[in-house]
Amino acid sequence: MVGGVRAPELAALPESDLLAIARKGVAGRSWGSPPKPVLAKTFFHDRGIPQYLVGHGKRLELIFGRLAGLPGLHLNSNAYRGIALNDCVRESRATAEGIAKKTL
């Protein structure tokens, strides 16, 4: 994903530049130097990724502070600690591990 609240000007770049930025972002992280794609397409979503509001961290402290008094109740979604798929997987694993440690 390219652009967003932190770099909205990137959305105005030509498709070839956007694809180059995306390939550079992938290089070294998981594939080393990725092969040239056989097919590539860009999509624009003006409001594609939600942003947490100022004060979100304090709100989480309040919510999870109250949750500590309710054993057996667990909250997990993209509303708390990351909206991307990888964030959801990380938080789901952490929740599952926490549950397993308490019940096994």
Residues 35, 60 within the same domain: no
Mean pLDDT across 11-26: 86
What letters, b where the CB count within 10 A reaches 16 and e where it falls short, cover 28-65?
eeeeeeeeeeeeeeeeeeeeeeeeeeeeeeeebeeeee
**How remote is the C-alpha of 98 from its chain's centroid?**
21
Same-domain check for residues 37 and 78: no
- pLDDT band at 5, cuts 50/70/90? confident
- Residue 37 sits in the same domain as residue 60: no
Q: Are residues 84 and 62 in the same domain?
A: yes
What domain range is 99 assigned to? 56-103
pLDDT, tens digit (0-9, with 9 covering 90-100), for 31-87: 667 677 888 888 877 667 777 889 999 999 999 999 999 988 999 988 899 888 889
Are 43 and 64 members of one domain? no
Same domain, 3 and 42: yes
Does 104 or 24 have the greater pLDDT score? Answer: 24
Q: Tell whether the model's pLDDT for residue 8 goes beyond 60.
A: yes
Do 40 and 63 fall within a single domain?
no
- Cβ burial of 10 (10 Å; 0-12, 13-18, 19+) is middle
pLDDT score of 96: 93
Residues 26 and 63 in one domain: no
Helix (H, G, I), strand (E, B) or coil at 14: coil
Instruction: Check whether residue 10 and residue 39 sit in a common domain.
Output: yes
The pTM (predicted TM-score) of the whole model is 0.53
The first and second tokens of residue 33, run together, are 């130097």
Domain count, the chain: 2
Q: Does 61 lie in the same domain as 45?
A: no
Looking at the structure, tell me whether residues 6 and 41 fall in a common domain.
yes
